[in-house]
Chain A
């Protein structure tokens, strides 16, 4: 730890005598300028810089996944061949799914905003294991390269679910792809472990569990899922790899294996993985809403408890992916009713966010617009989840576009929207610049419209009975597919607009003050951007992070922040 730390601190130390004892926090290089050159980035232990490395990486994978999605949607414009053949299509949706799930959604909010914000919200100087954090990044990059390498060297056509025995016998490059996902899983575990230890050990003086900010609660909950569930994924994928590469036959009934066993193991991970994707999103929303309503959350406890509730119950619902896979009626019943609990916990959060607006002073900045999009899409998507957990309805809908639309409502309408909310909300903190509100507003509205246009037709397609993963389809489905494709391109354009607006602000935006939103959350106590170790002086964080009865000065005083 010592040599890199001195390297990081050195410039700051050089400036140390310059620092005014009074709280004039703008002097001294911030973390962005504390080291120069590519090496200072690639070899950094600063959680904020690593967060930015992840930021760059997941934006690349997000764009890649988006391009794959647009290719798929273009192919689906016509019932037959449009631009690619069936094999390419099958590889493409596999590529889209794997890229989006493991290379974007799972690392996105935890590894970017979690990495950046969590230690600051705890008043810590860094994560508990800064080197592990850096290793996590490189492991992630290696995993991503192995996946994409395997994909371009022939690709896998199994879908991101790798259902056996098809994945055992698929003539495509399954082994490198599952190896890559396995490696990415290691990165996930590293990061989750790091967060858990940090929350337990590195809270600032005075901080009780009941004053941990809600975003950190969400990241903490998600870290537990990451550490507990990801090894199961690793196991399942390792067995698929062995089945495919060596013909081991664990999941191959031709030699006595059980293909449905794979589904159990896979969903034991992959259902909680859904909460890996959505819980951090809920965490972002739980920060955005109090800030822009200038109001204490209607119930801090309800949000924190339901976060942990979702994390726990999420482990007991995997069978609802398998109602049609021959599990017994009784099992299906249990999995169905347990799934309803997740909906109740989620609903508690939704009510709390909405009620937080009551008697607030609501400002409609871009993060807040994304919150409204999130609210509607998440409630609708979540309630279609209740519909899907209703077993008799699931038999008609499962493996159709209804399911596709449902999880895109949660994953895109929920997670990506919250990612965008966070990207705008913390942009001043991360980069010390203010984005253009007008373009951001247009972007947020366009994202919402594009999203609805893309996925509402897919609900209707599912009702009509259009199965997912269909390269060709009966002609009666075509007009809805055309609508959906149009929406997808609009959504793509809107995302580019939002990204372009942020990139523009990065270069030309006006400088941001420490607390541009007048928030009381702890991360806004420090400068924008923060110094290399977040606070010049470790703050005392014993007060409520959502206490809007305090003025900003009072809050600073309480935190003894400088």
Chain B
């Protein structure tokens, strides 16, 4: 085994500058949970399949479990907490509450970040399109119906706000 040295990295996590010295084999997920104080990012399968560790990297959804922290050097990371910076729930989070879209809550951060990203780009997405966008986020509690209800409700709120302008 070669001697491997730690490297300095610097990234933004929910708008806050985060500097760390990391081993190259430290995953972005571990960095966020342990070094950056973001335990809301959850480890599920560790293989990029379940969507539980979804974060937005420079605005796009990625598997935090399938990236090394060094790859994210210089990037901007948003976790679910970044949607509610002042502790006030984002409308999409509120919709999940209203429609019982969260039960155990483990998949919720990934569900919410993926839905938010998708609706930002496709504000008129129908249920089938939302289903396809969320196909890579697994939930073992809700059966997905209530999650899709919540996401559709949020889409409709955004539409009404948009039409009101």
Q: Are A and B associated in one complex?
A: no
Q: Please report A residues at the B interface, Cβ cutoff 8 Å.
A: none
Q: Please report B residues at the A interface, Cβ cutoff 8 Å.
A: none
